[in-house]
Amino acid sequence: MSLGVYGRNDLKSCVPRRCRWRWRVGAIIPDSFAKLSGHIDCRALLTVSLETTHGTRRRSLGLLSTAQIGLNAHLPASYGSKNSEIVSISSRDAAKAEATAKKHNIERWYGSYEEQLADPNTDAIINSLPNGMHCEWTIKAAEAGKHILCEKPLAVSAEECQRMIDAANANNVVLVEAFTPRWNPHLRMARKLIAEGAIGSIQTIDAALCFN
C-alpha cells in the first residue's frame, strides 16, 4: 500500500518534475521515519516502511534488471544493512543475469523478470528499469505480492503514477519512490523551523544537487 509513502494517494508529491507540479512540503510521512538520520539509504525507506506496516524482520530484495544504478548504488549499500539484503537479480538476457550475479556474489539470478517476480523467497523488488518501463513492471510486481522500491522518476505521467499507486493499494504492498530528500533529516528540520515560524516568512527557496 502507498499510504504513508505518498500521503493518501497524493499525486502532487510523486509525479516526475517534467509534469511541472511542485512537490508539496506537507506530504504525510509516518513517524517511524524519524528514526532515520545522517545519510539516507533508499532501501532504508522501504524497509522502515515495511516495519511500519508488515512487521520487523530481515527483508530479501531483488534487483529488477542489471542497470548500473542497482549495481553501483543499491548493491554496495546492501552490504552494510542490518535489515535487508539483495538476494537476486534478473535480466531479459539469461547469460548477462548469470554473469552479473556471479561477479557480484548475488545468490540467485533469473533470465526473465517474470521468473524473479514468481520467486516466493523475495520480499521486495528494486525497479531500476528504464523510466518508460517503471509503470508496467511495478504493477506486475505489486500483483505478484512484492513490495517495490522504484527508481525516480516514479513514472512518465501522472496517470501512470496513479495506476501504480492503485496497484500497490489493491495488493496491500508498499510502493516507495527512491527520492531520498523527502526523508532527509536536514529537510525535516527545515520544515519544522518553517512551520514554527522560527526563521520568519519564507519567500523563495533555492536548492542544488551536488556530488563530491
pLDDT tens for the 212 residues of the chain, in order: 333 343 333 343 443 333 222 222 222 333 333 333 333 445 555 554 555 455 556 789 999 999 999 999 889 888 888 888 999 999 999 999 999 999 999 999 999 999 999 999 999 999 999 999 999 999 999 999 999 999 999 999 999 999 999 999 999 999 999 887 777 888 889 889 999 999 888 888 887 777 66
- Note the pLDDT of residue 55: 55
Pairing, β 84-90 against β 108-110: parallel
* Helix, strand, coil % in the chain, rounded to nearest 5: 45, 15, 45
Handedness of CA 115, 117, 118, 122 (dihedral sign): positive
The pTM (predicted TM-score) of the whole model is: 0.70
Which of 212, 201, 210 is CA-nearest to residue 181?
210
Whether 152 sits among the annotated catalytic residues: the reply is yes
| Active-site entry in 96, 140, 146, 152 | 152
Read off the C-alpha cell for 27: 506530504
Read off the C-alpha cell for 178: 527512491
